[in-house]
Amino acid sequence: MARFTGDRADPETSLKPDVTLLSKHNPAALREDFDKASPATSFQNMELFVEFKYETQHDPFQDDIAGAADSAIERSSINGESTRGQCALYAANQLAYQHRLFTFSLVICGKRVRFIRWDREGVIVSAGIDCSTNHDLVIEFLQRFNQMTAEQRGLDPTATPATPEEIDAFESAVANVEIESLKCSVGEQTAYPRFRLEIRDAGGRVSDYIVGKALDYNLGAVGRCTRGYLALDRSTNQPVFLKDMWRPDVQGVEPEHVWYERLAAAGVPHLVKVKHGSDIVQSTSTSILNYHGTVPLKPTGTTSRRGAQRGLTHRLTEILGPHESKLRGYVHYRLVQIELCRPLSEFVNSMHLVSVVLDSIKG
């Protein structure tokens, strides 16, 4: 269902896309506030956003690349840069506040509409379409989007809502955490639903972790976009620290847990204790996830595990772009640390601070 949200900002980000699409299958989207004609924006529940501008001069992109001075798809005008910045900020917040692999959006400037797909590798933008004469394409897109599964819309299938039993165990564990800043970081359950995140090891064994709000949100729409969580390890019912990120898919760049293992084997002191780390695998299939194009993607080298969640933009640009893609690939990755650490700002006294810095230098 679609709601006009252009006059009521998200209470945490103070941002307000013009139109927000919500899923009727999301219990939070059915609360009383969303039944209003103009509910508050919610990046946690947003499925897709639409940004409107009155005139085509606000279009953030251009189609006549050959005639552009810099041969770039981005429009370099003040209005174009402003609209592009708006859309990027909205997409970054949606990707940060949800467990997503990618997302879609629309931008409509005057009579011109563009369809946009965002992931951690970059952005795919359609050519501008005159929706006054080709409105059937917009209708078809929305009809297809409505029929998509949650996974096809970009939601991460390895992140699922926690059960009431898991939520109770998580809240109990958080209450016993001594580090106050970590305890408060998970947010209220009513505002930040609890999720179960999974990590599948090389042998296929799955470990589950319950999380709430992230300690911090990296608002870059593209790149590593690291998020850290106070998490509950369901195998031990002990609190741990879970890092969720997109690591560069570059030959010679090893995953983070590999370096911890090498440093530990070399006897390096003062290392944080790591339980495990892994690329996120949701399937043993070798097919490209959520790609249904008629043109086959070119095979690319990867450092990821078979079936790992990878970005798609750099491979799409190989067949859609006029030039060879210079984008970097990224792989979804999670790391679990057994020890809970305090922020450096919470040192007890000067001696404590100096000791921490010295241990870091030795390591």
Phi, psi of 256 (to 5 degrees): -60, -40
**DSSP symbol at 281:** B
CATH number for region 2-147 = 3.90.1570
Q: For every one of its 363 residues, what pLDDT tens digit does the chain have, with 9 covering 90 and above?
A: 888 888 888 888 899 999 999 888 776 665 545 555 556 888 989 999 999 999 999 999 998 766 555 557 888 899 999 999 999 999 999 999 999 999 999 999 999 999 999 999 999 999 999 988 999 999 999 999 999 999 999 999 999 999 999 999 999 999 999 998 899 999 998 889 999 999 988 788 899 999 999 988 777 889 899 999 999 999 999 999 999 999 998 888 889 999 999 989 999 888 889 999 999 997 644 444 566 666 777 667 777 878 889 888 888 887 776 566 678 889 999 999 999 988 878 888 888 888 888 888 887
Q: Token digits for 183?
A: 């305890």
Instruction: Output the CA–CA distances (angstroms, integers) from residue 330 to 7, 92, 101, 130, 246, in the order listed.
Output: 36, 16, 11, 34, 6
**Whole-model pTM over 0.85:** yes
Side-chain-side CA neighbours of 1 within 13 Å: the count stands at: 16
End-to-end CA distance of the chain: 53
Domain spans in the chain, listed from the N-terminal domain onward: 2-147, 159-362
